[in-house]
Amino acid sequence: MTLWFVFALMTAAAMFAVLWPLSRRGPDDGGSDVAVYRDQLDEIGRDRAAGLIGVAEAEAAYVEVSRRLIAAADAAETAMAGRIEPPVWRRRAAVVVAFLLLPAGATALYLTIGSPQLPGERLASRERVAQNSSIANLVTQAEAHLERNPGDARGYEVLAPIYLRMGRFADAANARRRILAISGETAERQTDLGEALTAANNGIVTDEAKAAFERALVLDAEDVRARFFTGIAAEQDGQRDRAAAIWRGMLEKAPPGAPWIQTIQQSMARIGVTPPVAATPPVAAAPGPSADDVKASAEMSEADRDQMIRGMVARLADRLKENSDDIEGWQRLLRAYMVMGERDKATAAAADARRAFASDPDKLRRIDGAIKSMGIDG
Amino acid sequence: MIPELGHFALVLALALGLVQAIGPLAGAHYRDAALMRMADSTALMQFVFVALSFAALTVCYVTSDFSVANVYENSHSTMPLIYKYTSVWGNHEGSMLLWVLILALFGAAVAAFGGNLPATLKANVLAVQSWIACAFYVFILLTSNPFLRIAEAPLEGRDLNPILQDIGLAIHPPLLYLGYVGFSISFSFAVAALIEGRIDAAWARWVRPWTLAAWMFLTVGISMGSYWAYYELGWGGFWFWDPVENSSLMPWLAGTALLHSAVVMEKRNALKIWTVLLAILAFSLSLLGTFLVRSGVLTSVHTFATDPSRGVFILAILVFFIGGALALFAWRAPLLKQGGLFAPVSREGALVFNNLFLTTACLTVFVGTLYPLALESVTGEKISVGPPFFNLTFAPLFIPLLFAMPFGPLLAWKRGDVLGVAERLMAAFAVGIVAIAVTFVIKGGQSVLAPFGIGLGVYVIGGALIDLVERTGLFRLPLATVRSRAAGLPRSVWGTAVAHIGIAMSLIGIVAQVWADERIVSLKPQETVSIAGYTLSFDRLTQRTGSNFREQVAKFTVRNSGGTVVGTMDPSKRTFPARATTTTEASLLTRGTSQLYLSLGDANDDGSIAVRLYHKPLVLLIWLGSVVMMLGGGLSLSDRRLRVGAPKPAKKAATKPALQPAE
């Protein structure tokens, strides 16, 4: 209500600015060119008196300016003579404009582009209320904390998996790097870095990621995840035999009942080493899920896991139908379809995503980039 | 509530602007005093509303109200307070708001201080000014609205572009805009006069103070931008012939010509076509600059956002105002009666010469800026018109102009005696030649042309001083008389001399850069590097944390050739995590008007760091010259004859040399 009261006051001030001059009577009271020429004549007189110009020059200048003065005075007189009292209807028209059009026009325009229902939210008040405790804002607060305390490794350890889950893979990789720099290296930390880097590159084990896994294996030759990913790297390099050898070695040394055995077996099946089982997504290589998720899904039976993943993807797809503005969601969905080998669905989803962002060139560009990088466009 | 107040205030400013664009125009046409008077109150109130709107946006920035999209996109809660203020205009939307604020400011100034203007002229000027303002209000509200909101305010903003996080942003844009937009008032005067069909000597007197004020701000605005680029971009250049810089230089050249034409028109009722066209041109070039920078046609630091719809909108504004003004001019041109006659060799002739060279220089900049763009859009071929083009075209135009400069004020109106003036300038020639010789002796033959440049600068300063000496009678008359004559001299005469000295100072500063020294080396701690008689030792590399950045600072100690410590330098590299960008902060050590300039490159693995070191002789003269030019403008503006609203100008002495035939 206060807002509208202030708006009304402001509008009244604007109306006043239009109405006030109409209420006063009398002729225009501005300056005139006659005064300017009079000044110029005075100047010439002063210059001559001071000896700055000669008599003859002053005389010539005097004549020239006088001519202008006479012409200006004549024009002013003609104008005065031709003056008539202006008709009243013009002022009335101006009054109507001030009273009706000005407030109506301003209000109409404001209502189409303004947001009177939104309160102002200064930072200080928002921090106190802390009503925005969404993940994104918690992350922002944690980031601010780390900005002030860049040596806090624990903070990064909390943030890194959250980044992975949010799809901010590059940030996750950076956080892993910071942890390595602060707390020194262990096999696990190197593997975490490699995993984040792999996720950031859509499941491709890049040179940098590979270096991290290899470093981890130097530190601990038995690091399971690192060995698994070096196998993936070999597979992606086209060295299926090497991949198979690495994985076979892992299976041989595997403690009985280890939760990851099945994952390895599936990977081997994928490259056609053991008799093929039903095609399943290479879960471990899929970006997004953290190590815990992988472990959890590895403990399930294959059918269950397949079902679980498909369920998650379907839920994501449903959610995106309702809220199509979530660009990270679209990227996750597209990646999931590609990983699951559902190229048709991926293509259809890509088209949907493009439609959803048709009006937002910035996001459209981003989603286009993502689609191209996944090779959906063929 | 604050952002919505600002939004509504802007909408009201538009509504008032529309009233002001139509009412006074009708009033002037029918000579209806009440409708004409409406111009004053609406112009003042319009300014109040735009100022309110600007203040609201400022409050949003200072309190980090990220529910305003513009604040969220260009600000960060940990930014130092000063940048929270400056980031208001460090982005497209906010800077357009500053644009209209200054537009409204000039309108309000005319309403408040234009008491000496005839009522019809004033009403028309304010109406035209309001047409421009309305076009930009609509542009802002529909395509670049800084008050758009975000329903759920994010907790943190995306930070201001780190290159803009500098005190330069507090100074350069507001000054530049005061100049750029200030020419709108000259434009409005020209269009108003064309509408009325009355353009005479009195009009020139009325328009001159406004043009002068805009010109002063533009001069310093451009120069401060140049200094900012010099110390922020990290490689010691001060002018890049970047299209954006060019688009601020063009209005300056046209505005300088306008200023000089208006003098002739005021005195002799001549050069009317020149003056009116230049008034239209100066602002048209400002609009063009705005279009080039905002449309995304150009990419540079100044391109805050590229959006084709904005480009098309500004193009429409451009076509409407430039096209409309020129069409009006074509229609009214027959009314421009030839005024006072003059011989080719005369003060008027000298100013025509000045106009010709300035507009030609403006044209070369125009071609050099737009030709590559036109070529690219037609053929898709990218060419770069860089410094070589401008050095070959712009510089040769300025040499005769500067050479003729001291002649102008010494020549008489109507009919001058060029040999007599040359005789009186003998002392200046002599000093100039001595300067050339001395420069050659000191600097040897490193550059053949540069000593002549220094000589030219010294000669221009000498010429300006001779003008003052002649007018005050120094060395000829008793001291008391000299004092009283100096006091009686119109301030505009002092202003002319001071401004001309200023441009000569800038010239000397620019030419002296031929002798700049440069070292690019890789240094480890405790190593030293020498330049121009100074020895810099690299003490250590340290880390520092600022409020929203981290920086790597290198500490250097500077010793002169005698081994005495003359100062320390600490260039740094700043990393801004919010935008993941790095900026280079050069360190400057000023010795007299020369500077040592040190900026950091990349650190190498072996602990060494690349540094660029420059010695820039007399470099500060470039910018000091522009400040002196502004002081000259200020002196001229304070001339009692020009003081707006002064009922009776008290004194005016000769703006012509003593002992010479005048008017």
Instruction: Check CB contact under 8 Å for A14 and B45.
Output: yes
Tell me whether residue A4 is exposed, middle or buried, using C-beta atoms within 10 angstroms of its C-beta: 0 to 12, 13 to 18, 19 or more.
exposed
User: Could you tell me if B32 and A90 are in contact, meaning their C-beta atoms sit under 8 angstroms apart?
Assistant: yes
Question: For position A284, what pLDDT does the model report?
Answer: 43
According to DSSP, the residues that pair with B568 across neighbouring strands are: B557
Condensed to tens digits (0 to 9), the pLDDT of residues B374-403 reads 787 777 777 777 788 888 888 889 999 999
Residue in B200, B205, B298, B202 with CA at minimum distance from that of residue B248: B298
SS3 readout for A89-141: HHHHHHHHHHHHHHHHHHHHHHHHHCCCCCCCCCHHHHHHHCCCCCHHHHHHH
CA distance A78 to chain B (A): 13
Is pLDDT at B13 greater than 80 in this prediction? yes
Is pLDDT at B650 greater than 50 in this prediction? no
Condensed to tens digits (0 to 9), the pLDDT of residues B257-290 reads 999 999 888 888 888 888 999 999 999 999 888 8
CA distance B210 to A201: 60
CA distance B524 to B528: 9
Instruction: Check CB contact under 8 Å for A47 and B40.
Output: no
Residue in B520, B237, B507, B251 with CA at minimum distance from that of residue B386: B237
CA distance A201 to B451: 60
Question: For position A204, what pLDDT does the model report?
Answer: 82
For residue A45, CA distances in Å to A68, B118, B264, B647 come to 16, 25, 20, 18
For residue A155, CA distances in Å to A143, B76, B310 come to 9, 21, 44
Residue with the larger pLDDT of the pair B652 and B154: B154
**Residue B65: partners with Cβ closer than 8 Å, 6 or more residues away:** A120, A121, A122, A123, B2, B3, B59, B71, B153
Residue of B nearest to A119 (CA): B1
Span of B55-64, B141-150, B310-319 with lowest mean pLDDT: B310-319
Condensed to tens digits (0 to 9), the pLDDT of residues B512-570 reads 998 988 899 998 888 899 998 899 999 988 888 777 788 889 999 999 988 899 999 99
A residues 290-319 closer than 8 Å to B (CB): none
CA distance B137 to B8: 12
Strands B587-591 and B594-603: antiparallel
Nearest to A47 among B30, B121, B654 (CB): B654
Question: For position B662, what pLDDT does the model report?
Answer: 33
Structure tokens that stand for B407 in this block: 């002649």
Instruction: Check CB contact under 8 Å for B49 and A52.
Output: no
CA distance A222 to A353: 43
DSSP structure string for A29-97 = ----HHHHHHHHHHHHHHHHHTTSS-HHHHHHHHHHHHHHHHHHHHHHHHHHHT--PPPHHHHHHHHHI
Q: Which helix (H) or strand (E) holds B496?
A: helix B491-512
Residue of A nearest to B117 (CA): A31
Question: For position B490, what pLDDT does the model report?
Answer: 81
A50 inside 8 A of chain B by CB: yes
User: Could you tell me if B270 and B342 are in contact, meaning their C-beta atoms sit under 8 angstroms apart?
Assistant: yes
Instruction: Check CB contact under 8 Å for B141 and A113.
Output: yes
Task: Give the side-chain half-sphere CA count within 13 A for A283.
Answer: 28
Residue in B530, B523, B496, B510 with CA at minimum distance from that of residue B600: B523
CA distance B363 to B283: 15
Residue in B164, B170, B151, B161 with CA at minimum distance from that of residue B66: B151
- ipTM for the complex? 0.83
- Assign domain A131-270 to its CATH architecture: Alpha Horseshoe (1.25)
Condensed to tens digits (0 to 9), the pLDDT of residues B622-649 reads 999 999 999 999 999 887 665 433 333 3
Residue with the larger pLDDT of the pair B196 and B606: B196
Instruction: Check CB contact under 8 Å for B151 and A118.
Output: yes
For residue A342, CA distances in Å to A43, A197, A317, B237, B406 come to 92, 25, 14, 56, 82
User: Could you tell me if B627 and B540 are in contact, meaning their C-beta atoms sit under 8 angstroms apart?
Assistant: no
- Give the mean model confidence (pLDDT) for residues B294-308: 56
Q: Is B88 helix (H, G, I), strand (E, B) or coil?
A: coil
The rounded percent of chain B whose pLDDT value lies above 90 is 44
Q: What phi and psi values does residue B146 have, to the nearest 5 degrees?
A: -80, -5
- Give the mean model confidence (pLDDT) for residues B607-620: 89
From first to last of the 378 residues of chain A, give the pLDDT tens digit. 788 999 999 999 999 999 888 877 666 566 777 888 888 888 777 777 766 667 777 888 888 888 888 888 888 777 777 667 777 888 888 888 888 899 999 999 999 998 888 877 777 665 544 444 566 777 777 787 887 777 788 888 888 888 887 777 888 888 888 888 888 888 889 999 998 888 888 788 888 888 899 889 888 888 888 888 988 888 888 888 888 888 888 888 877 777 788 888 888 887 777 633 433 444 444 344 455 555 555 556 666 767 777 777 888 888 887 777 778 788 888 888 877 777 788 888 888 888 888 778 888 888 888 787 777 764
CA distance A108 to chain B (A): 10
End-to-end CA separation in angstroms for chain B: 62
Question: For position B49, what pLDDT does the model report?
Answer: 97
Residue with the larger pLDDT of the pair A267 and B307: A267
What does the DSSP 8-state code read for residue B591? E
Residue in B316, B309, B318 with CA at minimum distance from that of residue B287: B318
A114 inside 8 A of chain B by CB: yes
For chain A, domain boundaries:
2-113, 131-270, 291-373
Q: What phi and psi values does residue A357 have, to the nearest 5 degrees?
A: -105, 15
CA distance B529 to B523: 8
CA distance B149 to A121: 11
The mean predicted confidence, pLDDT, of chain B is 86
Q: Which fold has domain A291-373?
A: 1.25.40
Is pLDDT at B415 greater than 70 in this prediction? yes
DSSP structure string for B209-241 = HHHHHHHHHHHHHHHHHHHHHHHHSSS--S---
Which of A110, A135, A145 is the mutation pick for testing B, counting most B CBs within 10 A?
Answer: A110
Strands B587-591 and B528-531: unpaired
**Residue B153: partners with Cβ closer than 8 Å, 6 or more residues away:** A121, A126, A132, B65, B66, B67, B72
**Residue A191: partners with Cβ closer than 8 Å, 6 or more residues away:** A212, A213, A216, A223, A225, A226, A229
Residue in B16, B46, B590, B93 with CA at minimum distance from that of residue B304: B93
User: Could you tell me if B23 and B39 are in contact, meaning their C-beta atoms sit under 8 angstroms apart?
Assistant: yes
A256 inside 8 A of chain B by CB: no
Residue of B nearest to A28 (CA): B33
Q: Which helix (H) or strand (E) holds A368?
A: helix A361-373
- Which residue type occupies B600? L
Nearest to A30 among B63, B122, B652 (CB): B122
CA distance B34 to B45: 17
Structure tokens that stand for B309 in this block: 């719809």
Instruction: Check CB contact under 8 Å for A54 and B118.
Output: no
Contacting residues of A for B119, CB less than 8 Å apart: 28-30
Residue in B139, B134, B129 with CA at minimum distance from that of residue B195: B129
Structure tokens that stand for B49 in this block: 């509303």
User: Could you tell me if B412 and B661 are in contact, meaning their C-beta atoms sit under 8 angstroms apart?
Assistant: yes
Instruction: Check CB contact under 8 Å for B15 and A21.
Output: no
- Which residue type occupies A156? Y
Nearest to B33 among A28, A50, A61 (CB): A28
Q: Is A256 helix (H, G, I), strand (E, B) or coil?
A: coil
Structure tokens that stand for B460 in this block: 């221009």
Contacting residues of B for A119, CB less than 8 Å apart: 1, 67
Chain position carrying tokens 């990621």? A209
Question: For position B40, what pLDDT does the model report?
Answer: 92
Chain position carrying tokens 């993936």? A232
According to DSSP, the residues that pair with B543 across neighbouring strands are: B552
Strands B572-576 and B565-569: unpaired
CA distance B231 to B225: 10
Nearest to A14 among B3, B12, B152 (CB): B12
- Give the mean model confidence (pLDDT) for residues B146-152: 86
What does the DSSP 8-state code read for residue B149? B
Q: Confidence band (pLDDT; 50, 70, 90) for B486?
A: confident
Instruction: Check CB contact under 8 Å for B1 and A121.
Output: no
Query: Given this chain, do its domains A131-270 and A291-373 carry the same CATH topology?
Result: yes
Question: For position B21, what pLDDT does the model report?
Answer: 93
User: Could you tell me if A10 and B49 are in contact, meaning their C-beta atoms sit under 8 angstroms apart?
Assistant: yes
What does the DSSP 8-state code read for residue B513? G
User: Could you tell me if B588 and B568 are in contact, meaning their C-beta atoms sit under 8 angstroms apart?
Assistant: no
Instruction: Check CB contact under 8 Å for B15 and A105.
Output: yes
Nearest to A36 among B52, B64, B205 (CB): B205
User: Could you tell me if B118 and A31 are in contact, meaning their C-beta atoms sit under 8 angstroms apart?
Assistant: yes
